[in-house]
Amino acid sequence: MNEIFGRLTIDAFKHDLIEASVGVSILIAGAVMTFLLTYYKRWTWLWKEWITTVDHKKIAIMYLIVSAAMLFKGVVDAGMMRAQQVLSVGDSFGYLGTEHYQQLFTAHGVAMIFFVAMGFVAAFINYFIPLQIGARDVAFPFVNALSFWFFVAGGMLLITSLMIGNYSGVGWVAYPPLSGIEYSPGVGVDYWIWSIQVSSVGTLLTGINFLVTILKMRCPGMSLMKMPMFVWSVVVTLILIIFAFPILTATTGMLTLDRVMEMHFFTSGFGGSPMMYVNLIWAWGHPEVYILILPIFGIFSEIVPIFSQKKLFGYVSMVVALIAIAFLAFVVWLHHFFTMGAGPNVNTFFGLMTMLISVPTGVKIFNWLFTMFRGKILFTTPMLWFLSFVFLFTIGGVSGVLMSVAPIDFQVHNSLFLVAHFHNVIIGGVVFGIFAGFTYWFPKMFGFKLEEKYGAFAVFFWVFGFLFAFIPLYILGLMGATRRLDHYEASTGWWPLFAVAAFGFVIISIGIGFQCLQLYVSYKNRKKNRDKTGDPWNGRTLEWSTSSPPPFYNFAHTPEVHDIDPFWVMKEKGLKEAKGNYEKIHMPKNTPHGFFIGVLSFLFGFAIVWYMWWLAIVSLIGIFVSLIVRFSDRDTEWYVPVEQIEQIESKRGK
């Protein structure tokens, strides 16, 4: 049996009640989906319209759906941890076992960073980069689909670990020697490795694909310094991805070799060096946090001018600030482990660089504020998210600069103070930015606007919920509470603050409730909220010049631009867009190979996790076969006939 199933035995399916209930609910959800698809006879539709698609807009919607599902998982994890910390004090040990708790905080971090933040950002990049640069597609549409399916395969490995075996319990960056085979002999760390290894291949391909798209496929007249600021922020992000992700691939690769081949890169014996892993993982990990936040800066740079009805202040300084941040992002990684003891000189250098990085970030904040200055500000939901972002992100940034002073960091290293800091910048920055971008671009993606009222309620509850949930953590951190704590003594006096934090989680949940309600009510009133013009916000950039949602070829005529904010200038000058005289359009054809390779890479990861070597070999060969079949297909493109374009365009605005 060992030859067939490796180390997978029936025990892998046995879980305690709480773990099992998660697995069962996933299975039920899957069964319900299967039933609905069969009942409404939607399988062919799903296959033809979505799974095999190479349309960057549909891929973006799929990213949104997967990320939203992972967000749900991440939030539930967070709630369970907060509940445990309230219940597990003194003689009471709460309702979660220690091992389960460890898996929770690991899975929470991995899901939120790799599959929620990266997923939503990938969705926005996919949908709006081609639209904003006036292109009809990306440079490599098939590779784009492939990236998405790698992302899904990675996510599925994370979800599978809930049902078969267990997930890693050693934190989201899995420091050795704890994550080595000696101290973590189970499958958890292997699931961690392969869930991020597979999805980060997708991220790397996205990086290459979109960088080529932006550099080569901008519409006539759009020089680099006329690109919308979101495009600029994405260019810089992609460069960070291209430099940082290969390091992650190599590092997790070496950890795999340590675990599976009994090598000694990061073991504590045989000449291995665990601290080398910590250096390598943060050489990727610190650029990674800028990979998350820079596109968000781009989104805000779109939103603030729109709702201040004014040009973005300091375009050139914004670009320079982005590039400066990207450069500095690679020379601050050591501030994650000042306590390693690299000596005062090294620590001081990295501390100074860390302080320095707040300067270009500050430039950006001030530029947004100056954009608002003397503007006619419309307090719509995206703008409310922006204002909350300025408030919370600045607090988070200041606490970060505080910790860049090495002696202070020695005091609060790995304490809840740190946890509060990075949630302050990630929730206050990345998550709020994602919500702002989602509300802002929702009418473009789905054709109707979201109800403003519920959005405002959601902002209110999120901001106050956040303050209740994380300000206590700053205080707890200063009182000495470490992170990843599943039990503490009553005599510490920490309980009231943990209770306040849990209360904060409840308030945030109400905010999430309002967001769900907002989606539901807006969908119900979608006829009333319909965006017929394609330009619901009085937009400035090219994505607003086409219909909502855009036709699959994006633009009937290739746009030509002369200024920053081309669509705004066009409206100012009273120019109308060209109609008629359509020419046939060259578009890529759908292909199932992205999906096949995604499934096979999932199997490949799963096989290595469980040591099923035959399956690993078979799926690897399958990946190559699928690629070769795809390369042998000579019929991958088609022309959209003029009649079809005329038909689609004539329906516009109705």
Partner 1 sequence: MGKEAFPDTHHSHSENTYLGFWIYLMTDLIMFATFFAVYGVVRNNTFGGPSAKDILDLSYGLVETLVLSTSSFVCALGLRAALTNQKQKMISLFGLTFLLGITFLTMVGFELTHIVQSGYSWEMSAFLSSYFTLMGTHAAHIVIGLIFMAVFVAQVGFWGLTDVTKKRMTTLSMFWFFSYIVWIFMYTIVYLIGAQ
Nearer to partner 1, 88 or 251 (CB): 251
Q: In three state form, how does the secondary structure of 147-184 look? A: HHHHHHHHHHHHHHHHHCCCCCCCCCCCCCCCCCCCCC
Nearer to partner 1, 213 or 399 (CB): 213
How is residue 558 written in tokens? Answer: 């290739």
User: To the nearest whole angstrom, how small is the minimum distance from the Cβ of residue 259 to partner 1?
Assistant: 12
Alpha-carbon gap, residue 43 to 421, rounded angstroms: 45
Which of helix, strand or coil describes residue 9?
A: coil
Cβ distance 180 to 267 under 8 Å? yes
Q: Pattern of binders to partner 1 over 535-574, x per CB under 8 A? A: -----------------------x-x--------------
User: To the nearest whole angstrom, how small is the minimum distance from the Cβ of residue 217 to partner 1?
Assistant: 5
Alpha-carbon gap, residue 399 to 477, rounded angstroms: 12
Window contacting partner 1 (CB under 8 A); options: 200-208, 363-371, 387-395, 400-408:
200-208
Binding residue for partner 1, selected from 257, 356, 377, 401, defined by CB under 8 A: 257
Largest CA-CA distance found in the chain, in angstroms, rounded: 79
Window contacting partner 1 (CB under 8 A); options: 97-105, 206-214, 332-340, 378-386:
206-214
Window contacting partner 1 (CB under 8 A); options: 42-50, 191-199, 216-224, 526-534:
216-224
Distances (CA, A) of 604 to 15, 153, 160, 256: 24, 10, 13, 14
User: To the nearest whole angstrom, how small is the minimum distance from the Cβ of residue 213 to partner 1?
Assistant: 8
Q: Is 139 in the site for partner 1 (CB under 8 A)?
A: yes
Binding residue for partner 1, selected from 7, 226, 264, 652, defined by CB under 8 A: 264
Nearer to partner 1, 491 or 632 (CB): 632
Nearer to partner 1, 67 or 213 (CB): 213
The total of other beta-carbon atoms located within 10 Å of residue 468's CB is: 18
User: To the nearest whole angstrom, how small is the minimum distance from the Cβ of residue 523 to partner 1?
Assistant: 35
Q: Count of residues binding partner 1 (CB under 8 A)?
A: 52
Q: Is 204 in the site for partner 1 (CB under 8 A)?
A: yes
- Binders in 348-387 for partner 1, by CB under 8 A: none
User: To the nearest whole angstrom, how small is the minimum distance from the Cβ of residue 127 to partner 1?
Assistant: 18
User: To the nearest whole angstrom, how small is the minimum distance from the Cβ of residue 132 to partner 1?
Assistant: 15
Distances (CA, A) of 186 to 57, 156, 190, 248, 257: 40, 19, 8, 22, 15
Q: Is 40 in the site for partner 1 (CB under 8 A)?
A: no
Nearer to partner 1, 256 or 492 (CB): 256
Binding residue for partner 1, selected from 276, 401, 408, 510, defined by CB under 8 A: 276
Window contacting partner 1 (CB under 8 A); options: 186-194, 210-218, 318-326, 412-420:
210-218
Nearer to partner 1, 382 or 559 (CB): 559
Binding residue for partner 1, selected from 52, 98, 249, 414, defined by CB under 8 A: 249
Nearer to partner 1, 120 or 284 (CB): 284
Q: Is 209 in the site for partner 1 (CB under 8 A)?
A: yes
Q: Is 196 in the site for partner 1 (CB under 8 A)?
A: no
Which amino acid, one-letter code, is at 358?
A: S
Which of helix, strand or coil describes residue 548?
A: coil
Which of helix, strand or coil describes residue 546?
A: coil
DSSP 452-476: HHHHHHHHHHHHHHHHHHHHHHHHH
Binding residue for partner 1, selected from 262, 489, 572, 577, defined by CB under 8 A: 262
Nearer to partner 1, 572 or 577 (CB): 577
Q: End-to-end distance of the chain based on CA atoms, in angstroms?
A: 63
Window contacting partner 1 (CB under 8 A); options: 18-26, 36-44, 135-143, 448-456:
135-143
Binding residue for partner 1, selected from 129, 131, 254, 319, defined by CB under 8 A: 254
φ/ψ of 311, rounded to 5, equals -65, 150
Q: In three state form, how does the secondary structure of 315-384 look? A: HHHHHHHHHHHHHHHCCCHHHHHHHHCCCHHHHHHHHHHHHHHHHHHHHHHHHHHHHHCCCCCCCCHHHH
Q: Is 217 in the site for partner 1 (CB under 8 A)?
A: yes
How is residue 361 written in tokens? Answer: 């970030």
Distances (CA, A) of 551 to 447, 481, 543: 11, 54, 12
User: To the nearest whole angstrom, how small is the minimum distance from the Cβ of residue 343 to partner 1?
Assistant: 17
Q: Is 33 in the site for partner 1 (CB under 8 A)?
A: no
Angular region, 138: left φ>0, alpha ψ -120 to 50, beta rest: beta
User: To the nearest whole angstrom, how small is the minimum distance from the Cβ of residue 216 to partner 1?
Assistant: 5
Cβ distance 567 to 544 under 8 Å? yes
Question: How many C-alpha atoms does 388 have within 13 Å on its Cβ side?
Answer: 32
User: To the nearest whole angstrom, how small is the minimum distance from the Cβ of residue 301 to partner 1?
Assistant: 24
Window contacting partner 1 (CB under 8 A); options: 8-16, 96-104, 133-141, 289-297:
133-141
Binding residue for partner 1, selected from 140, 194, 230, 313, defined by CB under 8 A: 140
Which residues face 530 on adjacent strands?
Answer: 448
DSSP 578-643: P-S----EEEEPP-SHHHHHHHHHHHHHHHHHTT-HHHHHHHHHHHHHHHHHHHT----EEEE-HH
User: To the nearest whole angstrom, how small is the minimum distance from the Cβ of residue 588 to partner 1?
Assistant: 10
DSSP assignment, residue 427?
I
Q: Is 581 in the site for partner 1 (CB under 8 A)?
A: no
Binding residue for partner 1, selected from 586, 613, 614, 641, defined by CB under 8 A: 586
Cβ distance 139 to 213 under 8 Å? yes
Binding residue for partner 1, selected from 250, 369, 398, 578, defined by CB under 8 A: 250
Binding residue for partner 1, selected from 15, 136, 310, 336, defined by CB under 8 A: 136
User: To the nearest whole angstrom, how small is the minimum distance from the Cβ of residue 469 to partner 1?
Assistant: 37
Q: In the chain, count H helices and then E strands.
A: 22, 2
Q: Is 272 in the site for partner 1 (CB under 8 A)?
A: yes
Closest CA to 497 of 479, 524, 484: 479
- Binders in 612-641 for partner 1, by CB under 8 A: 624, 628, 631-632, 634
User: To the nearest whole angstrom, how small is the minimum distance from the Cβ of residue 274 to partner 1?
Assistant: 11
Cβ distance 339 to 413 under 8 Å? yes
Residues near partner 1, by CB under 8 A:
135-137, 139-140, 204, 207-209, 211-212, 215-221, 242-243, 245-247, 249-251, 253-254, 257-258, 261-265, 267, 269-273, 276, 280, 558, 560, 585-586, 624, 628, 631-632, 634
